[in-house]
Amino acid sequence: MLGEVAALGAAVCWALSAALYKVALADTKPVSANISRCISTTIFLVACLVVAGRLGDLATLQPYTVALAGLSGVVGLCLGDTTYMLSLKLIGVSGAVPVTCTYPLFTIFFEAVFLGGNVTPFLLMSAVFIVLGIWLISQVEDKLGNLTRHFLLKGISVALFTALVWSVSIIMMDHAQRRSELSAADAALVVNSARVLTTTFAFLALSPLIDRRFRFIRLKRRTWGILALGGIVALGLGWFLLTVSLSYIQPSRAVPISSISPLFAALFGVFLLKEKVTLKILTGSAMIVLGTAGVFIV
């Protein structure tokens, strides 16, 4: 049960971070935003390691574990999160989050085909229910009643590519986590920190090429603060919870649960922002709850 609860916690974190990123992206570009976010999150995670007395554990990780965690970061955070931010900018939170959250289907496919995962028809059906529910929640009409601009081909393609990249990154992170000899909680912090550290170093090394004017250095303090908070919530707490989840349950169970962040985004809108509850939101929410329940009981 701890694995499932941790996955749900990750979903909440990612729903909140999406809203924060969308606000910050009004003042910067995706690459610059991602670099500043990773730098801030790295500082936070290193501070956590120091406080927890686990900074030395980074040196105890096996080279294979560090390499796999680092590769997961480069693939998922450098590439995947940059395209995620681009999709947020192109089609907004309501369009990008649901499409990118189709990554459980890619994860289940890769696990079944390449890793011999135990994926039952019932579990697959549960994942499909989740994705269909997410799609329904995304079909919220704007003031003009026109959905076309929210689902431009470019935005959807970028979001789907993000989902594919994330699924590969999660599988890599799962294997890196299982290679660690630390306890589940310690490994979740230490291995995730190694992942983010590697990502930040990669970004800084590539910044002369991908952010030639070093825009991330000149961001407004408010923008830095929002991106830092989003990074801490998503990469710090969110990925910590997902890593804990992967320590207790299989990716084919943890990933579908963690992908229901659009449901929490809808709930935040209803209870915090007083947004109108539509039939599509209610139906989509019910399908997501049913799908999640199926993942719990399989």
Q: What are the structure tokens assigned to 12, written together?
A: 């909440």
Q: How far is Cα 182 from Cα 63, in angstroms, rounded to an integer?
A: 14
Q: How far is Cα 169 from Cα 294, in angstroms, rounded to an integer?
A: 25
- What tens digit of pLDDT does each residue of 217-243 get? 999 999 999 999 999 999 889 988 987
Cβ neighbours for 190, distance < 8 A, ≥ 6 positions apart: 49, 54, 57, 58, 61, 180, 182
> Over 90: is that where the pLDDT of 70 sits?
yes
pLDDT, the chain, mean:
83
> Which of 151 and 66 is assigned the larger pLDDT?
66
Q: How far is Cα 17 from Cα 7, in angstroms, rounded to an integer?
A: 15
Name the one residue in this structure whose structure tokens are 């939170």.
93
Report residue 276's pLDDT band, with 50, 70 and 90 as the boundaries: low
Side chain identity at residue 149, one-letter code: R
Cβ atoms of 21 and 273 within 8 Å: the answer is no
Cβ burial, residue 175 (10 Å; 0-12/13-18/19+): middle
Is residue 36 helix, strand or coil? Answer: helix
pLDDT of residue 296: 56
pLDDT of residue 115: 64
> Over 90: is that where the pLDDT of 171 sits?
no
> Over 70: is that where the pLDDT of 139 sits?
no
Interval 147-161 mean pLDDT: 71
> Which of 99 and 195 is assigned the larger pLDDT?
195
CA angle (60, 63, 66) in 5-degree steps? 85
Interval 51-59 mean pLDDT: 91
> Over 80: is that where the pLDDT of 78 sits?
yes
Cβ atoms of 233 and 20 within 8 Å: the answer is yes
Q: How far is residue 289 CA from its own chain's centroid?
A: 20
Q: At what angle do helices 251-258 and 103-114 cross, to 10 degrees?
A: 170
Report residue 273's pLDDT band, with 50, 70 and 90 as the boundaries: low
Report residue 244's pLDDT band, with 50, 70 and 90 as the boundaries: confident
| % of the chain beyond a pLDDT of 90 | 37
> Over 60: is that where the pLDDT of 149 sits?
no
| % of the chain beyond a pLDDT of 70 | 85
> Over 80: is that where the pLDDT of 147 sits?
no
Report residue 144's pLDDT band, with 50, 70 and 90 as the boundaries: very low
Is the backbone of residue 121 left (phi > 0), alpha (psi -120 to 50) or beta?
Answer: alpha
Interval 119-138 mean pLDDT: 77
> Over 50: is that where the pLDDT of 289 sits?
yes
